Amino acid sequence: MPEGDSVYKLARRLDRPLLGRTITRSDFRVPRLATRDLAGRTVLEHVTHGKHLLTRFSGGVTLHSHLLMDGSWSVTGPGKRLPRRMLPDVRLLWETDSGHTAYGLKLHQLDLVATADEHRVVGHLGPDPLRADWDAAEAVRRLRADPTTPLVSALLDQTRMAGLGNLWANELAFLVGRSPWTPIGDLDVEALVRLAAKALRHSALVEGAYQVTTGVGTRGEDHWVAGRAGKPCRRCGTTVLRDVPLVEDPANRVTWWCPHCQPGPGPEARLPHAATRREV
């Protein structure tokens, strides 16, 4: 699943061909928005909050979208079109006065709202380190609100701190040297928030650092535990373990950890009844 740094980098890629351009043709291919038309409006900015993308247009209108697991955007240059095999996945199409065409593929949670009402679609989210209004103290307060919540479940809850997905939750648990199921109240939450914010910013803003947690950008060597089940821990050599997710439970996704470097509770301490908690 794309994480906050993924969506932030996507927004910057969309800036290049779309920012300041006027929509000449607008085609929404989802029933709820099929009659809406953005033609004549200018793209003012792409703003992110956690994993959510907000595209603001002239006239005080915002398109809200979420990639979830399989969504993506593609922009083609003048005279070019998306390959035919991808057309069934198109949920929106915008042609612009520059000749570029933007395609939203398999996008989720598509909403058109007044820019002044963006809180209706992202107001539930916690502070985001990639936003100018980042509030570390508020993130700490929210993470501490239920001190019994397991570490990875707390980090995945976007209402506490926005932008951290499963990769970052697992890697941060390793970096602080605690079991993924350690109660969040047992940690130095201020230090955890500082580390998480630094990691997310570094990943989003530094060239070549995208989601590299080990400091080594070579594929297969860029993560400590995520995706490394059955392989030796890079730090101690102990076999990295993997726990399967609980179906339809966003607080208990697939988890990787080193039992030697990350002492503490095992998966038997997974948060029960967590499906009501919000990951998105």
**pLDDT digit string (tens) for 71-129?**
999 999 999 999 999 999 999 999 999 999 999 999 988 999 999 999 999 999 999 99
Q: What is the pLDDT of residue 65?
A: 96
Quick: pLDDT tens for 5-45.
999 999 999 999 999 999 999 999 999 999 999 999 999 99
Position 2 confidence tier, pLDDT thresholds 50, 70, 90? confident
Task: Give residue 277's pLDDT.
Answer: 42
Residue 28 lies in a domain: yes
Residues 115 and 165 in one domain: no
Q: Considering 96, 123, 150, which residue would you say is the last residue of a domain?
A: 123
Q: What is the CATH number for 167?
A: 1.10.8.50
3-state SS record for the chain: CCCHHHHHHHHHHHHHHHCCCEEEEEEECCHHHCCCCCCCCEEEEEEEECCEEEEEECCCEEEEEECCCCCEEEEECCCCCCCHHHHHHEEEEEEECCCCEEEEECCEEEEEEEHHHCHHHHCCCCCCCCCCCCCHHHHHHHHHCCCCCEHHHHHHCCCCCCCCCHHHHHHHHHHCCCCCCCEHHHCCHHHHHHHHHHHHHHHHHCCCCCCCCCCCCCCCCCCCCCCCCCCECCCCCCECEEECCCCCCCCCCCEEECCCCCCCCCHHHCCCCHHHCCCC
Examine residue 224 and state whether it is found in any structural domain, yes or no.
yes
Q: Tell whether 230 and 173 lie within a shared domain.
A: yes
Q: Is 279 inside any structural domain?
A: no
Structural domain of residue 198, as residue ranges?
136-266
Q: Are residues 144 and 250 in the same domain?
A: yes
- Examine residue 94 and state whether it is found in any structural domain, yes or no: yes
User: Residues 185, 243: one domain?
Assistant: yes
% pLDDT > 70, the chain: 93
Are 108 and 169 in a shared domain?
no
In a domain, 111, yes or no: yes
- What pLDDT, on the 0 to 100 scale, is given for residue 271? 61
pLDDT score of 273 more than 50: no
Q: What is the mean pLDDT of the chain?
A: 93
Q: What pLDDT does 157 receive?
A: 95
Q: 102 and 164, same structural domain?
A: no
Domains in the chain, number: 2
Catalytic sites, residue numbers: 2-3, 51, 253
Write down the pLDDT at residue 253: 76
